[in-house]
Structure 1
Amino acid sequence: MIYHVEALNVVKRFGPTTALDHAGITIAEGETHALVGRNGAGKSTLVSILTGLQRPDGGEVRFAGRPAPALADRDAWRRRVACVYQKSTIIPALTVAENLFLNRQGRWIDWRGLRARARDLLATYEVDVDAETLAGDLGVEQRQLVEIARALSFGATFIILDEPTARLDGPAIERLFTRMRALREQGVTMMYISHHLDEVYEICQSVTVFRDARQVMTRPVAGLPHDELVSAMTGEAAVHYEARPRTPGQNIVIKAENLSLSGRFHDVGLTVRSGEVVGLAGSASSGKVGLAETLAGLRRPDTGRVEVNGSHPRSGDVPAFLAAGLGFVPEDRHREGFVPLLSVAENATVPIARRLGRFGTVSPARRRAEAAHLIRTLDIKTEGPDQPVGDLSGGNAQKVVFARALVDDPKALVVINPTAGVDVKSKLALLGAVEDAVERGAGAVVVSDELDDLRICDRVLVMYHGRIVRDVPRGWTDHELVAVMEGIEQ
């Protein structure tokens, strides 16, 4: 059988680290094939090889039975494969049309013709976006669809989707899946990378599992037990997070009164006590992320105020909120969570740098020692404290963001989408880190699109169109919470 895409016995080493150990994948034409595995299993390395960004040290890559192009022939690679990354490659300062035809306009640009071709391309793939809109003004879903249209415009019939739903809500995910099914009917082959196993069962026909740089399983999705898939990923039986019983204290660590922010939320009030985890749930347009960012000092409300550990830090002043004893895990780790070229130690210890030396200096030894403790506590897979965070897998980079939020032993935590784009075991570690902090007397706000993340909460505040419409105590069912989130029951 001639497969549309083949990676056979691929070996890739980075110094002493073996990223791929005779691993591979075979994908039939017109198939949507899942690639799953824990962070650091080798998925990202395979993607870099399948897209021609890295040369394998051993093995081969074939498209439709023919050897892959030379690495230098970028046009040939673009005609065969494209990748829509979790981190968007759209340039925000350019229009949609300019992004679609970047580096393809020729020496002299016919702007009217460029916009017309862009409109035709968007119409062909049913992307409802104005070609003259600045890409920076697009939502996550729209940016992804523009990237897919751009990829297909090169003639590629194989698309890699890397964690495409990590920042989408339920309706947006369904729209993406509808578009993917339509593309499959048109003969487009897709490789789908996700840590959301329910999505694998919904949209994919086959699944390949990587573990510890090796390919350990390839099976049809139909009839594959969920526990068997998780076991292949982890090397163990399926593990489910069990929230810990606790009794909230009396001290109020976060209090919001009459908070409003135009276009996001209206007249919101809430309190979080020590020893308590409060969830915020709702659709992407509910205002939950904007509210959480306001509670962390990232946004300045139009009205109302936020109290943190009895003080009233200046709104919109993140350092003031951190100084008041608040730890913060932002929504987008790539943009707001870490500096990729700085080391694990430098990123993790930013909030306490003032304590790691004298007279405005930082002791490298003390910084590394503090980072080593955090690496052990959060089980961060890294070569050591001096490794750049940009070299880590997504789950381990997220652990570094958690390390920074927890390094000063905060009494208040605001955590947004804590497990987005991380594997099963990393989810357990990150949720456990939140509960560990709460056991030490902190209070936490957890915002997530993942129902499993919200199970650690003592209660969940559901937001709908910018208002809190229900306070749901622990013990809810999926149906009950989703019904309130979607506005069916309030």
Structure 2
Amino acid sequence: MDQAPPPAVEAEGVVKRFGPTVALDGVQLTVQPGESHALVGRNGAGKSTLVSVLTGLHKADAGTVRFGGEPAPAFGDTTAWQSKVACVYQKSMVVPDLTVAENLFLGRLDDESRWISWGRLRRRAEQLLAEYGVQVDPNTRARDLAVEQRQFVEIARALSFGARLIILDEPTAQLDARGIGRLFDKLRELQSQGVAFLFISHHLQEVYDLCTAVTVYRDARHVLTAPVADLTKTELVTAMTGEKGSGPAAWHAGGDRAAVGDASVEPVLRTEGLSLEGQFEPLDLQVRPGEVLGLAGSAASGNTALGEALAGMRKASGGTVSVHGRTVPSGSVPHALDAGIGYIPEDRHDQGLVLGRSVAENATLTVTDQLGPWGTVLPSRTREFARSMIESLDIKTQGPEQPVAGLSGGNQQKVVVARALARKPSVLVAVRPTAGVDVKSKDSLLGVVRRVADEGNAAVVVSDELDDLRVCDRVLALFHGRVVATFGSGWTDGELVAAMEGVGERE
């Protein structure tokens, strides 16, 4: 009788401390060959720390890690770790200006000669890509690839070192529905070849779509490991939060807010013929006091470009934007801020935060003119302002002076929100506001959006995440730059997804 192969990775009793902070408290994890195994938990649960231990970036203080039944390589032996495991992060690690072939063999361009044979390099790349069924031209610059293609290249590179365990850290954060489908198809194909995946995501539906097993961490401890099919979503959320599930959250839109659609009320935000060539067609919008408007659509729908145009990040090719009847000059962030438009960008790392600066400095970037006389910025006033935002948004931090890079993803996002709210905006434009945050942080952030509207202002949520859109009183579905459907708050998942994918139209 054939003996079952050893686990792709097996971690037992892993402990990791950073000073007085216990980041991992005796956790465990087992991933079998050919398995997609989900690791979920709130921000700060210990997931990222475990990844750093499993990839050799940090040395565990206690416990054991084994790959394929063998002890993990010695700490610091990079080559040996690369032969066991690799991590594909949310932010791509490929070098944009290099070709696919150059990225695949970076650091080992030609093992047999002092000189690089570019023809041989391309042939090696073609063979490697063909071996794993990755349909990408090795001569293409990485910057010209679609997001999931860059991920395929990173996975192929990892497999070429001999790794049979690939960690995927929020791999779908920048993908639309079609890109996610292509990624999952490729993962299933590689699973059939015995490759194991550890899948880390805050999108629980994806756990059910892809994975057969799930492990939950909470507060640096292991809570459970179970077959995905044996857990309902409510049970999974309860395991992650430690709290029993309840009915709809307070921020969900509902019939009691129908009055916001009263046409006799002057809109807070209005667009007339607003357009951006190649992104979205002329569009008339009206968002009234107390209303949250959703702009739903995939990455190619134009909804993100529309949100950026509203916030002054892009210059429109036609039409106007006005707040309380006042026209806002297009393509100017300072003018948008002065008009009362607050903005939560899609990518908190590239657009939302200065990671080398403190929580206080980041939270007050839009109000530096209010932090001291004659253009000066007083540190005491900066700290005082930041403390009020920390308390208002329940930001988990050691204090205003803590570097923002040291916060969990959910708390970093709250700092971005604090900056957007600092000038008390009349209009809040939020692009995928809960990307990469846990369930509790998601509730908190969407609660803030609801609160902004309930105070008599307007909010616009730009997203393809259904949970983000549940806060909206009205949702416009965009497809290839035009509105194809309009929904009240009573939409179903199926009909909204169908509209975002261009299946049927409803006005």
**TM-score band, normalised by the shorter chain?**
over 0.9
Structure 1 counterpart of 2:249: 241
Alignment: residue pair count = 490
Are 1:267 and 2:282 counterparts? yes
Deviation at 1:48, TM superposition (A): 0.6
- Correspondence for 1:162 among 166, 169, 174: 169
Do the aligned residues in 2 keep the contact of 1:309 with 1:325 (CA within 8 Å)? no
Q: Matched residues in 2 for 1:273 and 1:481: separation?
A: 22
Deviation at 1:293, TM superposition (A): 1.0
- Correspondence for 2:17 among 13, 18, 42: 13
- Correspondence for 2:106 among 84, 89, 102: 102
Higher deviation after alignment, 77-86 or 383-392: 383-392
Structure 1 counterpart of 2:35: 31
Equivalence map 1:151-230=2 (5 Å): 151-230=158-237
Instruction: State the AA in 1 paired with 2:319.
Output: G
Structure 2 counterpart of 1:343: 358
Structure 2 counterpart of 1:85: 89
Q: Matched residues in 2 for 1:265 and 1:289: separation?
A: 10
Structure 2 counterpart of 1:387: 402
Do the aligned residues in 2 keep the contact of 1:49 with 1:55 (CA within 8 Å)? yes
- Correspondence for 1:424 among 439, 463, 467: 439
Structure 2 length as normaliser, TM-score? 0.93
Do the aligned residues in 1 keep the contact of 2:8 with 2:164 (CA within 8 Å)? no
Equivalence map 1:425-444=2 (5 Å): 425-444=440-459
- Correspondence for 2:137 among 127, 130, 140: 130
Q: Matched residues in 2 for 1:103 and 1:320: separation?
A: 47
The percent identity for this pair of structures is 59
What value does the CA root-mean-square deviation take over the aligned residues?
1.7
Structure 2 counterpart of 1:358: 373
Are 1:455 and 2:455 counterparts? no
Cα displacement string for residues 354-391 of structure 1 (whole angstroms, at most 9, x for unaligned residues): 11122332222221222222222222222222121212
Structure 2 counterpart of 1:256: 271
- Correspondence for 2:490 among 461, 469, 475: 475
Do the aligned residues in 2 keep the contact of 1:308 with 1:321 (CA within 8 Å)? no
Equivalence map 1:300-319=2 (5 Å): 300-319=315-334
Deviation at 1:320, TM superposition (A): 1.9
Are 1:144 and 2:151 counterparts? yes
Deviation at 1:229, TM superposition (A): 1.3
Do the aligned residues in 2 keep the contact of 1:167 with 1:420 (CA within 8 Å)? no
Structure 2: runs of 5+ lacking an equivalent = none
Q: Matched residues in 1 for 2:492 and 2:77: separation?
A: 53
Secondary structure of 1:182's counterpart equals: helix
Deviation at 1:20, TM superposition (A): 0.8
Equivalence map 1:272-287=2 (5 Å): 272-287=287-302
Do the aligned residues in 2 keep the contact of 1:39 with 1:422 (CA within 8 Å)? yes
Deviation at 1:141, TM superposition (A): 2.0
Instruction: State the AA in 1 paired with 2:305.
Output: G
The 1:109–1:259 alpha-carbon spacing in structure 2 relative to 1, beyond 3 Å, is: farther
Structure 1 counterpart of 2:336: 321
Q: Matched residues in 2 for 1:370 and 1:83: separation?
A: 39
Secondary structure of 1:105's counterpart equals: coil
Equivalence map 1:26-65=2 (5 Å): 26-65=30-69
Q: Matched residues in 2 for 1:163 and 1:221: separation?
A: 18
Do the aligned residues in 2 keep the contact of 1:87 with 1:334 (CA within 8 Å)? no
Are 1:376 and 2:391 counterparts? yes
Cα displacement string for residues 93-132 of structure 1 (whole angstroms, at most 9, x for unaligned residues): 2222222221111453222322332233333333333323
Higher deviation after alignment, 288-297 or 165-174: 165-174
Are 1:75 and 2:79 counterparts? yes
Deviation at 1:486, TM superposition (A): 1.8
Secondary structure of 1:489's counterpart equals: coil
The 1:113–1:313 alpha-carbon spacing in structure 2 relative to 1, beyond 3 Å, is: farther
Structure 1: runs of 5+ lacking an equivalent = none
Deviation at 1:235, TM superposition (A): 0.4
Cα displacement string for residues 246-303 of structure 1 (whole angstroms, at most 9, x for unaligned residues): 3327342322222222321122221222211110112221111111111111111222
Cα displacement string for residues 366-422 of structure 1 (whole angstroms, at most 9, x for unaligned residues): 212222222222222222221212122211111111111111111011101111111
Instruction: State the AA in 2 paired with 1:479.
Output: G
Secondary structure of 1:415's counterpart equals: strand
